[in-house]
Structures are given as structure tokens and as C-alpha cells.
Structure 1
Amino acid sequence: MPESLMMAFSWLDWLALGWFFACWAWYYEYSRRRQRSKRCLAGVMHGYRYDWMRRLLGREARIADATIMTHLERNGAFFASSTLLILAALFGLMGTTERALLVLADLPFAASSPSRLGLELKLLLLIGLFIYAFFTFTWSMRQYNFCAILIGSAPAADEKDSTPGLRKMFAIQAANVIDLAANQFNYGLRAYYFGLALLAWFLHPLAFILATAGVVGVLFRREFHSKTLKALAAGRDLDITFRGILQHEETTSESLKSQNK
């Protein structure tokens, strides 16, 4: 590593940067492993997406389903366009680092004597982070396009060649594709969260460390311990229980009819 690059940051800056990447990598891997769990937002929403695709196959008119897919795609388009504006602002800031150094030097809690190279490297890291967010949002948009095509190609409700096994397989695979699109959208939002933590580095590396820990804590709570998760999981459990009761009643009724005969 060049000596000038090593001198651009203090040992505390390097520690904060390593902490930042370690926290992001840990949370990514942890959430990926827990994705199919019933007690996380991704796992609960997968069940709802499967139910959505399964019930879609029983409907003749699917205009509402296509409208929902268009709305989901527009969310990604909004964030992708916003990311381009942020990137334009960051590239513009790269040309005014001298003025930015003066502004940072006047902040009461900013680190002492920030260097121009250090500031430029921080800006480049922010630029790289939002470039990653842009690619994830645009990939999410494309995947939602694929989901719209899947809805258009779904077997009709009265199609004779469509077997129950084929319908079930279609619902599973369509729900998986929607999951992939939603995951990419979540990765882009997660980049925004960590981008906010990275802004604290411009003040002080300790603020950067605390902000990174705070972002991980917020993401962890919302994904695995939020009230929204509890409500979604409760609704899912009640739906499964109610369907089980109905199935049991139908089976009991059929057995009683056969005995009476």
C-alpha cells in the first residue's frame, strides 16, 4: 500500500473503516442465512408472495396483480434516479475539496486537521457505495419486469392442460423470482443506511464506529424484532390455522357423508 495512502488516515480511521466493512459483511451473511426463517421479514413475506401467486392462478382477471408489480417496479426506479442525483452531487463535490476542508475544519466535533487526500478517499468510498446501490436498484427493476412477464404467462384458471403440480411449481418459482427482486431492492436500501453511517466519518472516526453500530442495530431490529414483523407473522399463522380448520372440517364432513351412505 502506498505510504501516502497510509498517511491519509490515522490508525483510528483504519479501525473504523475495517469495522464498517466487517459489520456490513456480517449483517449481509446473517440476514441471508435467516432469510427463510419464519421470524424475519424476508421469510414471512416469502409466504405471502407464495399465497399471492397461488391465488393469482385462480383468477381470470389479473389487472390488479399487474398493477401491484408496476408499483413495486416504480419504487426501484425512484431510488435509482435519486441515486444518480446523489452521485452527481458527490462528483461535483470532488472538485471543491478545498472549500469542503474549510467547512469541516469549522465543525465543533470534527477530527483535527483533515487532509485533502483523506477527504477525497472518503468521497470516493461514498461514490462507490452509491454506484453499488444504483446497480442493485436497476437489477431489482429488471427482475420485477421478469415478474410481470411471469404473471402474463401464468396458466389460466380454466386451462385444462395445467395440472395441480404444474400450478404449484409455477407459484413456487414465481414467488422465488419476486423474492430475488425484493432482496435486490433491500440491498440498495441497506446501502443507503450504511451511506448515512459513512457520513459520520467526515466528523470523527469514533462517530463513524458508533453510527455503523447504530445502523446495524436499526436494521436488525426492523428485520427480526419489529412490531411489523410480529403483525405479519401473526396474520400468516392465523391464515394457516384457519385453513387447517377448514380442511379438517371438510374431511370430517366427507367422512360423515360416506358413513351415512
Structure 2
Amino acid sequence: MAGSGFTVADLVALGFFAMAWLSYHFAVERSSAGPRSLNRLMNRHRYAWKRALLTRENRIIDANINASLQNGTAFFASTSFLAIGGSLTLLRSADEAVTLFSQLPFGLETSRLAWDAKVMGLTVIFVYAFFKFAWSYRLFNYSAILIGAVPERSLGPSEAAELAAWRAASMNTVAGRHFNRGQRAFFFALAYLGWFISAYVLIATTGFVLYVMWHRQFASDAVAALSRGPWPDGP
């Protein structure tokens, strides 16, 4: 412990960080509360979109929607790749950075070994995000192909058209799931930055990020917008 530069508080904070990430993942994607989350509510509209696609002869609008989703994914993939380079750059100026962070409010003395380990941990988070965004980009590409494969109902059996639309919706949903996981990694990377100041700051930033993400998924105005009936009386 002493030789590694990590304290008990560091290990507790890192454990809290990992548990927060895993718990949030479970709550949104695995628990019984998941269907009420913003992500899962929007998945229903992905399927509704693909069913509406069946009624259109011209699929340009559907291709444009898919392209906009893919372009947004490409932006985040590029950003995560730059973040990987930026975090690795921190290793080159480790001595100066250690001195700087130790002088910040609540900052504690840390060793070069501990600093390098923290930087590598941050790099791993951005690498994870890059793989998620890159895979999501590829899946949106597949989704575009599946959109093109959806036949018009007038040209074939309705069952075949429904199945093709379901496949396109399912692929789009999987692409969106991986995009959400990559974006989740970005949010937790912000919380992870608190560890460079001290373990106590990491606990605080993790709790704050966890609350913000939970609120957006389960109690935000975006969730309320999906729960409203047709055409409310007021804004």
C-alpha cells in the first residue's frame, strides 16, 4: 500500500466508483426499473419509426435520420480517440502535474507510480468509450442497409415487410445501446478526474455524476415529454 502510493481511502473511492458504474448499468439495462428509463422509452419509438417506414414509398427521410445518428456517433468516436491521446500525454508531464494537483484545494500528495496508474485508468475508460462508439457507428451502417432492405407492403407479403422492419429497428436499437454505453463512459470519466485531486473528491464527483445521470434517465423533463398525452393544453 505505502509503496504503491495508494491509501485505503483510494481503494475505497475506486471501489465506490466501480460500483456506481455497475449499479447504474444494472438499473438502466437489467432491472425492473429499466423500462421506465429514457433510453428504453426511446427504444419503443425506434420500433415505431420502423413501422411507420412501412407506410412510406420514399425512404429518404428514414435514411437521413439514420445518417444523423451515425454522424453523431462518429463525432464521439473521434472525440474519444483524441481523449486517449490527451490522457497519454499526461504521462510525459507527470512530475509537473503531480506538483500542480497536490497544490489544489483538497489535493493530497501522490507518488509518480500512483499518478501513472490513475492516468492509465483514465486511458482505459476512453479506450472503452472509443470501442463502443466505433462499434455503434458500424451498427448504424448495418441499420442503413436493413432500412434499404425493407420492402414495400404492396410488393410482397405483409409478414415479410414486418419482419424486415423489425430487424432494422432491432439493429438500430442495439446501435443506440452501444452509443449510450460509450456516452456513459464519458460521464464517468468526468467523475474519475476527481481522483487526480484526492480520493474524497472522487467519491464526491462520482456521487454527483451518478445523481445527474439517474435524474436524466428517470426524472427529467425529457422523460415527462414521452409520458404526455396528445397535444397538452399548455406548453
TM-score, with structure 2 as normaliser: 0.92
Q: In the alignment, is residue 196 of structure 1 matched against residue 190 of structure 2? A: yes
Any idea what the Cα deviations from partners look like across 1:91-132, whole Å, max 9, x if unmatched? 111111011112112213201x21111110000000000000
Deviates more, 1:135-144 or 1:213-222: 213-222
Q: Distance in 1 between matches of 2:139 and 2:59?
A: 19
User: Relative to 1, partners in 2 of residues 1:37 and 1:14: Cα closer, same or farther, differing over 3 Å?
Assistant: closer
From 159, 176, 182, give the equivalent of 2:176. 182
Q: Does residue 231 of structure 1 match 2:215? A: no
Letter aligned with residue 227 of structure 1: D
> Structure 1 CA distance, aligned partners of 2:113 and 2:69?
40
Tell me if 1:132 matches 2:128.
yes
After the TM superposition, which segments of 4 or more aligned residues of structure 1 sit over 4 Å from their partners? 34-38
| Distance across 2 between alignment mates of 1:221 and 1:153 | 38
Matches of 1:220 and 1:104, distance apart in 2: 30
Instruction: Supply the AA of the counterpart residue of 1:137.
Output: F
Q: Does 1:167 align with 2:161?
A: yes
CA contact (8 A) 1:57 1:157 kept: yes
In structure 1, what is the equivalent of residue 66 of structure 2? 69
Equivalent in 115, 118, 138 of residue 119 of structure 1 = 115
Give the superposition deviation at 1:34.
4.5
TM-superposed CA distance for 1:38, in Å, is 4.8
Q: Is the 8 A contact 1:36 1:43 kept in 2?
A: no
Distance 1:30 1:36 in 2: 6
1:21 maps to 2:18: yes
Paired residue for 2:154?
A: 158
Cα distance between partner residues in 1 of 2:132 and 2:123: 14
Larger Rg: 1
**Counterpart for residue 107 of structure 1:** 104
Letter in 1 for 2:125: L
CA shift at 1:170, angstroms?
Answer: 2.7
Percent identity, aligned pairs only? 36
The aligned counterpart of 1:147 is 143
- Residues 36 and 22 of structure 1: is their aligned pair in 2 closer, same or farther, counting only changes over 3 Å? closer
Q: Cα distance 1:61–1:35, how it changes in 2: closer, same or farther (>3 A)?
A: farther
Does the 8 Å CA contact 2:122/2:192 hold for their aligned counterparts? yes
Matched AA of 1:84: F
Asked if 2 retains the 8 angstrom alpha-carbon contact of 1:39 and 1:233, the reply is no
Distance in 2 (CA, whole Å) between partners of 1:33 and 1:207 is 29
Structure 1 length as normaliser, TM-score?
0.83
Aligned to 1:8, the other structure's residue is in SS state coil
Size of the aligned set, in residue pairs, is 231
**Could you say what the CA RMSD is over the residues aligned between the two structures, in angstroms?**
1.8
1: distance between equivalents of 2:213 and 2:34? Answer: 16
* SS in structure 1 of the partner of residue 110 of structure 2: coil
Task: Please show how residues 214-229 of structure 1 align to structure 2 within 5 Å.
Answer: 214-229=208-223
Residues in 2 aligned to 1:144 and 1:120: alpha-carbon distance in whole angstroms = 36
Q: Cα–Cα, structure 1 residues 36 and 149, in superposed 2: closer, same or farther, change >3 Å?
A: farther
Report the Cα distance in structure 2 between the residues aligned to 1:38 and 1:94, rounded to whole angstroms. Answer: 42
Higher deviation after alignment, 209-218 or 102-111: 102-111
Runs of 5+ in structure 1 lacking a partner? Answer: 240-261
Structure 2 portions without partners, runs of 5+: none
Q: Report the alpha carbon displacement of residue 233 of structure 1 after superposing the two structures with TM.
A: 2.4
Name the CA distance, whole Å, in 2 between partners of 1:35 and 1:61.
Answer: 39
Partners of 2:34 and 2:121 in 1: CA distance: 33
